[in-house]
Each structure stands twice: as structure tokens, then as C-alpha cells.
Structure 1
């Protein structure tokens, strides 16, 4: 039987944990310095950010436009245009998180939500897993931004989003990946909301 990518127990490159030391424990993540034994039986350091994960949701309005949010991201010191997204609370279902973030940031509830897979945005040093969703059949409610959160809602068609990506105007990886997943689904003639 062929091995599947992502198998955590069976790899010729398997690295085994032989030591660990927590370096930082914050509200969002924990930084851990591991010592691992590589496939060559030698010991190596690995620094890992342990993260509960996140979600990203592309919400389509009846007119075909998608809800997006523009916000300043302090970590990269710039304003980014993104699909609504957020951190999964410990033990929270990712789909619930996605719907919560859509309402908090965008002011809409979705009657239909479809899972579109997941991505590891920085697998070289973080366990963060971002779950991707598509939503439609939206009902307008109101934004419920977190304290200190400041966003501007914008509405763009998929073509406009893809054009901005191609022009180098959208840099957020989860948004780029989700936009192309939706494009692929539509090209295959699939309704993303099924």
C-alpha cells in the first residue's frame, strides 16, 4: 500500500522527540524547543510554535461578490485584504469558529457552509492548521468586533480578488489559497455550497 502524505507515524524521514522545553506560554501560542532524533539517529534542535489553529471563510453574497475585510496586521506592519478569519478557541469546532468570525468581522450569518480543506501556513515551525470554508445564503446581522479589532468590510467578485492576487495586491496566504480553491471548484462545474 502506498504511503499517504501526512502520515504521522510512518515515514523514512520520521523525527522522534527525545526532549522538550517550553520557552514561552502566551494566550495564543506556546513556543517549545524540542530535541529530536532524526532518521540518521543524530540529535537536532527544533523550535515549534504550538497553536490551536484557525479558520478562514469565503462568504458569497447573492450578487456574486465576496465579503472581505481590510485590516492592519501588526506582525507584518501592513494593511492586508483578507477573507474573514480567526483563531479557533481551545476545543472549538472549526466550522463554528468560521461562522463566528464571519459574523464578528463581516456582520453576516451563513445558512450554508462547505468545508474546503485545510492548510498549514508555516509548517516549518508552527503547528497552526487553518481550516477553509465557503459560505452562501447569507443573512445580514451586525458586526461584533473583538476589543482592539478594527476592520473595514469590502465586497469583491472572485474575478476581482484573483486579479488583485495576480497584481500582487493580496498577500494573505489563506485568502489566496481559498480563492483558487473556489475558482477550481467553479471551473469543474461544482456548486461550492453543496
Structure 2
């Protein structure tokens, strides 16, 4: 596809007005026009990048948090992770979040996957890291983050996704990337 053909299919942004601006998100409404001339308003949510970690132990189990998500009013398993602070190294953020949220310190950190969770509405880079092994820090996990911490066998991950126990985009995408990498011999 040529550059001109590609540009012909791009949406035109005529303006964007901020509705709410907080520390963790900027909500705006964009005035957009489709290539065929149809014009409408689209909500846009700009959110800081996030980093999360798949910590695998020697028994092929993944460190996860059992937590309640009020927005969907469900208890789910999630990977540890969080928002990057301004100018923070993503791997440093990811390791810090594992320690704060679970009480475990990852031994290694390697990039695994980058993705955008909802490209039609949300502007947020998600970075997923793979850590091999972790050591307990002696600190209690953050009670505000999770009811409990668990080591879930990697062999149960697909079943738990299908059962709706693992639903977050970062957790699902990261865990499926590990399963694919394992199946293709890359890890």
C-alpha cells in the first residue's frame, strides 16, 4: 500500500477538548472525520504507560494476585504491575510493582510483549516482562492490592482464562504470549 493510499484511509482529527484531567488519566472528546466524510465525536482516554510482570518459578508456576475489581464487580487473578512514573524505566517499575504488591522480588527481568489494550479509545502502552524466579522480601503484600497471592501452575492458565478467572487484557495477553513462547521453544 502506498503512503498516499494509506493516508486516504486515515481519520481526520478536527479538534479535541479535555473533559477531565487527573493524575492518572485525561478524558477528552475528539471531533473526528472518517475518510468518507462522516463526522462524529469520539471519547479518548489518555493513560500513562503500564508495566506488568509474569514471574515464573522453577515449578512452572506464575505469581498472581487474587483481587476484586469493582468496575466489573468480580474477583479475578491478575499479574502484578502498575503505572509508570514520569521518566521511570519500565523494567524498574515492573520489578518495584511486583515487590510492593506481592512481597516477592524478581530475580531477572526481560521484555516479553508490548501492546495497546483498546486502540479505538485508550492511548496506553502496556509493557509485559518475564521474570524467572523470585525471592520473598519478608514484607507483607499490600492489602489494598490483593486479597491473596498465589502461584498458579502455567498448565492451568488457559483453563482459568476460559473460566473467566483471568480477564484483564495485560494478564491475558502476557500469559498467552508465555504459553506461545513455551510451545514454540522460545522460552
**Same fold by TM-score greater than 0.5:** yes
Q: Please tell me whether the aligned partners of residues 57 and 132 of structure 1 are also in contact (alpha carbons under 8 angstroms).
A: yes
Q: Please tell me whether the aligned partners of residues 50 and 84 of structure 2 are also in contact (alpha carbons under 8 angstroms).
A: yes
Q: Please tell me whether the aligned partners of residues 105 and 151 of structure 1 are also in contact (alpha carbons under 8 angstroms).
A: no
Aligned to 2:120: 124
Aligned to 2:48: 52
Q: 1:111 aligns with which of 107, 111, 121?
A: 107
Cα separation, partners in 2 of 1:42 and 1:167, compared to 1, 3 Å: closer
> 1:187 and 2:183 equivalent?
yes
Instruction: Compute the displacement of 1:17 (Å).
Output: 2.2
Q: Please tell me whether the aligned partners of residues 110 and 139 of structure 1 are also in contact (alpha carbons under 8 angstroms).
A: yes
Instruction: Compute the displacement of 1:141 (Å).
Output: 1.0
Task: Tell me the distance in 1 between the aligned counterparts of 2:135 and 2:160.
Answer: 27
Aligned to 1:25: 21
Moved over 3 A (4+): 142-151
Instruction: Compute the displacement of 1:148 (Å).
Output: 3.9
Cα separation, partners in 2 of 1:17 and 1:70, compared to 1, 3 Å: same
Structure 2: 5+ residue runs without aligned partners? none
Cα separation, partners in 2 of 1:150 and 1:66, compared to 1, 3 Å: closer
Q: 1:156 aligns with which of 133, 152, 157?
A: 152
Aligned to 1:12: 8
Aligned length: 185
Task: Tell me the distance in 2 between the aligned counterparts of 1:147 and 1:33.
Answer: 36
> 1:100 and 2:96 equivalent?
yes
The worse-fitting range, judged by mean Cα deviation, of 48-57 and 85-94 is: 85-94
Once the two structures are superposed, the pairs formed by residues 74-89 of structure 1 within 5 Å of their partners are: 74-89=70-85
Task: Tell me the distance in 2 between the aligned counterparts of 1:109 and 1:28.
Answer: 26
> 1:175 and 2:171 equivalent?
yes
Q: Please tell me whether the aligned partners of residues 98 and 104 of structure 2 are also in contact (alpha carbons under 8 angstroms).
A: yes
Task: Tell me the distance in 2 between the aligned counterparts of 1:141 and 1:166.
Answer: 33
Q: CA RMSD in A?
A: 2.3
DSSP-derived class of the 1:52 partner: coil
